[in-house]
Amino acid sequence: MLRQLKMGWTLVLKMIKFNVASINCCTETEGPNKRLTIWFQGCTIRCKGCCNPDYQPLKPRNILSLEDLIKIIKVSQLNYNIEGVTYSGGEPTLQQNLPLLTAAIHKLGLGVISFTGKKYEDVSDILAGCDVVLDGKYIDSKRENKRKILGSINQRIIVLSDRYPNCEDWFFNNESKTVEINVSDYIFANGDAVL
């Protein structure tokens, strides 16, 4: 019976799918500490001036199972000593199984930060378990210049757990803009916009 339950859970892990645009296995620009960042494919908000317009179309990109994502995160944890995972996009809340991914990440002892272009109050169920949420639509005419990685001044930093008690300090420590460039099979750049 126990073996059947374990086999059933393994099947569930393989059946739960996510539409992923890209993954950066180790970054220090998408939140406090070393993090893995997952950019999800698809966004219905379509903010003018979006920093990731290629991630807006609602089309399949890289369909990964929950099991696949957890394996990638575990490898990053082992190889890079990441402390957490950041969700970005596209729009993470379009991934209906996001709470299952968040719970699995917490089981690995990692924190979770999520961007959303929506108001947190409208998507709190899908962002259940996140430690910090950065919410609000990007408004091009209200560009942010005091906080790191937030695009416009209307966006909020919502601390939901004790995991990052001083995380707002990280966002406000904006002494210099940071851009990371990783080169492997392709060139991957992320971080703050440099004006």
Q: Which domain holds residue 149?
A: 17-190
174 within domain boundaries: yes
pLDDT digits (tens, 9 = 90+) for 49-63: 888 999 999 999 999
Residues 6+ apart with CB under 8 A from 31: 84, 86, 113, 132, 149, 167, 170
118 within domain boundaries: yes
Cα separation of 166 and 153, whole Å? 20
Q: Say which residue, 193 or 63, is predicted with more confidence.
A: 63
pLDDT digits (tens, 9 = 90+) for 32-49: 999 999 999 999 998 888
Q: What is the pTM of this model?
A: 0.86
The count of domains in the chain is 1
> What was the pLDDT predicted at 180?
54
> What was the pLDDT predicted at 54?
92
> What was the pLDDT predicted at 192?
44
176 within domain boundaries: yes
pLDDT digits (tens, 9 = 90+) for 122-162: 999 999 999 999 999 999 999 988 888 899 999 999 999 99
With a pLDDT cut of 90, the percent of the chain lying above it is 69
11 within domain boundaries: no
CA atoms within 13 A on the CB side of 115: 25
10 within domain boundaries: no
145 within domain boundaries: yes
8 within domain boundaries: no
Reply yes or no on whether the pLDDT at 5 is more than 80. Answer: no
CATH of the domain at 45: 3.20.20.70
116 within domain boundaries: yes
